Amino acid sequence: MARQSGRLDEVVAFYRDGLGLPEVARFVDHAGYSGVMLDVPGTASHLEFTETGHQAVPTAHVEDLLVFYLGDQDRVDRVLARLGASPVPSANPYWDAVGVTVCDPDGFRVVLVPARWAP
């Protein structure tokens, strides 16, 4: 997932320091963009957040969700404590039943689920 941010430093701190995603790369002023890539361990994927002055920042919608299955309630509680974020109600009540939703600094919603993903 790649997304532009209006608050790159705050967003990186939210995902890296709060959620614990390792920073794997960073770039500055590459064709007018700066950004940070964060690993999503165990998925062979990463999140990339960029900033630029020549594009509008996307607007968050209540159905834009990034869902993390953290394994257990203790880990969810630790992440919530690090984030210092207050839970928000989900538009889809399913997510309130299985996890807790918070907003990142750009207003995009992140769901923390205290279970392991089982496809």
- Every domain of the chain and the residues it spans: 2-113
Architecture of domain 2-113: Roll (3.10)
Contact 49, 106 (CB under 8 A): no
Tens of pLDDT, residue by residue over 19-73, are 999 999 999 999 999 999 999 998 899 999 999 988 888 899 999 999 999 999 9
pTM of the model: 0.93
pLDDT on residue 60:
93
pLDDT on residue 56:
81
Confidence band, pLDDT 50/70/90 cuts, at residue 17? very high
pLDDT on residue 104:
97
